[in-house]
Amino acid sequence: MKIQLLTTISLLTYQFSISQTEKLLHGKVLSNNYPLKKVEVINKTAKTSTTTDYMGDFSILVREKDSLLFFAQDYYFSRLKISRENIDKSNITINMVIKAEELKEVVITNMKLTPFKVSQQDMDATKFAKDNQSLQKYTGVYDGTIPNGMDFGRMGKGVFNLFKNNKKEELEKKTSETVFRKLVAASIPSTFFTKELKLPPEEVELFLDFCDADPRSKNLMENNNVLTTMDFLYTKNEAFKKVKTEK
């Protein structure tokens, strides 16, 4: 009887401790009272993540004092530190603010052009001028041109194309070298470096160069995920601090 009682007490104690350490939290992400779908909800403390459905709803396991991050394209990221009240309520609402839209370029899709007409008299005058320049062809009189001479215009065009190709290769090389920076700019907010990684603003560019030099940064494009990118930045931040200390 005592053994059964002790077993029951142990089981209840274990279940109680589990319920105190981890709970499934439900929530909804909105913007101007409209649900946001495909928002990445990241438990930074537990290093787990999920995404909202088409109604803006999500569920994720949390503990008290866990830090949740909310990422969505074209919106400012939000952060929430889980409190006992959030766990007891088991249902939260997150409001995200849309970023100001920037006008980058204007594309003209409709343009009216004034018709340009050429008269028969103009065509005849052009033909006469062209024929007049080819005296050697019709009369055998040398007009000062070299029939099989070197085409400097074509040579100039070839040199221009060569220069253009070199520029293109240089641009492609430069683009490939900045893939990591483009990925970070598109998925990680600028405040992440100063608030989460505790980097001084003047060291952010140096830190990104430090990360870009790591061959593993190129693999992030194959597994394009905010949580994976953040883990990589956290790991490189520790190495970056160590290098600064050694120097």
Let me know: does 57 contact 50? Beta carbons within 8 Å.
no
Distance of CA 52 to the CA centre of its chain: 20
Residues 39-75: tens digit of each pLDDT: 999 999 989 999 999 999 999 999 999 999 999 988 9
Token pair 């520029």: residue: 167
How is residue 46 written in tokens?
């537990």
pTM: 0.46
Give strand pairing partners of 70: 41, 78
Residue found under tokens 């409209």: 34
pLDDT tens-digit map of 85-137: 988 888 899 999 988 765 555 555 565 655 556 666 767 777 666 666 655 55
Nearest CA among 81, 77, 66 for reference residue 40? 77
User: Which domains does the chain possess?
Assistant: 22-116 (2.60.40.10), 120-149 (no CATH), 177-246 (no CATH)
